[in-house]
Amino acid sequence: MMEKRMLEGKTAVITGASYGMGRTMAELFAEEGASVVLTARGQEKLNQVVEGIRANGGKAVGVVADVCSTEDTKRVFETALREFGDVDILINNAGIGEQKMIDETDDDWMLYVMNTNLGGPMRYIREALKIFLPKNDGVIINVSSVNGTRPFCGATYTSTKGALNTLTKNVAMRLIDTNIRCNAVAPGATKTPAHEANKKGEQPGGAKMLEYSKHYVYFPGPECECVDQAYACLYLASKMGRAVRGQVIQVCNGAFL
């Protein structure tokens, strides 16, 4: 007899799920029995992921949404409740990577990245708690970065990841007397389109910050796969992580110890 899947009967909302780590998380969670609600700003790639999950027997729905929009955020949860009747897991994965040095960072860019990387998770957590608190159950997972503690990328990006780590602990404190858990996964170098663009100096800001920080001098191990980050999220979302609260779990193959 096959062992019961770890997320059977659960519903997960995953932001930024049209490619890279978010896509892999959605696919893994669906394999483990969860109904998944995927968000992204682009319809075409989002549809491809949803169709792939459904073709493999999973339950999925896609919602085109911008994490900077409060109305979009509400619509995502309304869709989840309408389609699947509940929400049990939130993964705040959507974010913007960048390499702009502080002296090249203008106000518009700073506020845009902050609104996406920090404002987005705050909006989604706030909305999720409207569902989680009444039933006294739920899981929140923020996707941070090794940059939250070793800030070698852009000034705004690294600041938002450090803030996201702090937000994770703050929310966990708020929820300490509940059955709602909040944690974060902090990926190291992971094989995603964004990471490949970063290595080529194609992200906003180019590669100057990498030169200043000597990032690759400290990178002895192999790059992670997207599924490595997805497995960490699965651990936190399932009963395996039931006693873990307010933690930032770094998944980097030991490259940023």
30's tokens = 């669906």
Residue among 95, 188, 176, 183 at smallest CA distance from 141: 183
d(C-alpha 159, C-alpha 108), whole Å: 16
Q: Which residues contact 153 (CB under 8 A, 6 or more apart)?
A: 97, 98, 99, 145, 147, 198, 209, 210, 213
235 catalytic per annotation: no
The CA R_g of the chain, rounded to the nearest whole Å, is 17
Q: In what order do the strands lie in the sheet with 89-92?
A: 59-64, 35-40, 11-14, 89-92, 138-143, 180-187, 248-251
Query: Tokens 């192999």, residue?
Result: 222
- 73, 130 in Cβ contact below 8 A? no
Set 112, 157, 218, 235: catalytic member: 157
Active centre residues (catalytic): 157
